[in-house]
Amino acid sequence: MKPDPGEEAAPAERLQHRFHPLSAGVCVPLFAFFAAGVSLAGVQPLEALTEPLALGILVGLVIGKPIGVVGGAWVVTRFRGVQLVDVLSWRDISAVGIVAGVGFTVSLLITELAFEESATLMTDAKLAVLTASVVSAALASIALVRRGRHHDANSG
């Protein structure tokens, strides 16, 4: 579809822009949850998430991944003589680092391979991966909205 005279974007582009957050933020994670095959029957989620395995996964995804992304960017800028472009700050890099904690597909695959002998450990690990992804997504949303507002306020 092409834009009508006077329109900035075609109707299909406007619909895509409108529904993308719903698709990416709700539908894709729900699909991953159901595809992961996490059965919560008989599982005490709060108890499962306090197990050492689950705590390690939560800390690794919610805290470790952002540290890795920001640390990697810092190492490159420090030792390769590269600088951030003027419009980016370390707060922007940190916000993107938080997004990295959402990556649950590989984590779920590794969980399947690592704990195929123990249904309990697999369930605890999958629940922790999905919980960490939700927490990371929420934190990333807050950080990215704040950074977007900062950039909007400083671009005008």
Residue 61 confidence (pLDDT): 95
Determine which of 23-27, 82-86, 132-136 has the lowest per-residue pLDDT on average: 23-27
- 69 shares a domain with 124: yes
Contacts of 96 (CB under 8 A, 6+ apart): 69
Check pLDDT > 80 for residue 56.
Answer: yes
59 and 72 in a single domain? The answer is yes
**Model-level pTM greater than 0.85?**
no
* DSSP secondary structure letter of residue 62: I
105 and 117 part of one domain: yes
Mean pLDDT for all residues in the chain: 87
Question: In this structure, are 50 and 123 located in the same domain?
Answer: yes
- The Cα 78–Cα 70 span in angstroms is 12
Both 46 and 14 in one domain: the answer is no
pLDDT of 7-26, one tens digit each? 888 888 888 888 887 777 77
Of the pLDDT bands very low, low, confident and very high (cuts 50, 70, 90), residue 156 is low
Task: Report the pLDDT value the prediction gives residue 46, as an integer from 0 to 100.
Answer: 86
Query: In this predicted structure, what is the pLDDT of residue 139?
Result: 93
Cβ–Cβ < 8 Å for 70, 100: no
pLDDT over 90 (residue 55) = yes
Overall number of domains in the chain: 2
Q: Which of 15-24, 82-91, 116-125 is the least confident region?
A: 15-24
| Mean pLDDT within 95-101 | 93
pLDDT at site 60: 95
Domain that holds residue 5: 1-36
Residue 28: predicted pLDDT: 73
Burial degree of 132 (CB within 10 A; 0-12, 13-18, 19+): buried
